[in-house]
Structure 1
Amino acid sequence: MRLPIASKAIAPMLWLLASESKDGVFDGSLDELVFRLHITKKEYQDGLKPLIDNDFFILVSGVLAERKQDAIPETEGEGEREGETEKETDMPEGVSIEVWDSFVKQRKARKAQITERVMKSIREQAKIAGWTLDNALNEIVVRNWQTFKSDWVAVKPNPADRVRLTVAPSNEPDPALEKIKADAKKAA
């Protein structure tokens, strides 16, 4: 088996490229190899084909198996069919224009729709938190949230403020206090 000089020159460079990845696969396109190996297009064409023909390299970009059946192209997006999309909602009552505009702008930047379901959820969570819808939407904008949960704004009790008993309560008088009272009577 005699390889052309161009193949002998390119082979070590290709093996080095293959060693860069764990599975030995690399981009063997004309433009990529001409750039990476600093060779001409003619050297590429003269040297690569004999290496592939003699099984020094395997071309994996081809078809692995013949097609057994025809593919059926998708016509609709997954989960979203015609007529199922929720329509965008208008500005709710009690919400300032400034807050609403900021909320809409933020949702659009996140590519998140403002549907009746979204507004219902935010309205319910605001009610649980004891907030107005305007305050909840403002908090969403200020904190750069996508939605609102009452748990996120609930005042959490400080564990240090809890009263802790070190002695179990009892209906009997404390013996230490009784002794102090008795000592005070004797001293008087």
Structure 2
Amino acid sequence: MSPPTTIYVIGPSSTGKTTLCTALAQKIGLPEGAFVSEVARTVMREKGYSRHTIDQVQMQQDIMEAYFAKENELDARNHPIRLFDRSAIDPIVYAILTSKNDEEARERKKFLVETPTFTKALAKYRSNNCIIIMLKTVEEWLVDDGVRSLEKQEDCLKIFRALLKELNISYHELGEESKFLQERVILTLGWARF
């Protein structure tokens, strides 16, 4: 049995991740259990976090662990195609972004990247069966819903790029040049070789 194809859609807040994932799930005809969405919001709600606690490394670790739990669930279900709205990379980016200084950023990154569960996930992220799509900020799409962190969008994007490069993870970017949802769906499906 060949390994599943997994698509992760990542990037700063309010870049259209959930919109793209929903459209992809519909286009591919994914069963409900093969599409993972809103993990961070669920963790925040269940554990009493908010966008005002985004700087807590414990919050980011809890979100990361929730992604690993979802990964394990999907591994057990053997879906041939899986779709994730965000990834375990995102909490590391936010831990770095909200650090008080460079030293704290390095410590937080090291702490989260060196967890045994992230090491296991890293092998998946580097595999040929993994497609990572990073969405760049589209200024007019930024909407404050009271949950998302809309500050430092460009800094967040730079951290994503630097972290992906450091971890040797391949990815594709979508932004202003492809605002139409159908275009984004077609590009993503092409990268996934569907």
The TM-score, its normalising length taken from structure 1, stands at 0.19
Q: Higher helix fraction: Structure 1 or Structure 2?
A: 2
Is the radius of gyration larger for structure 1 or structure 2? 1
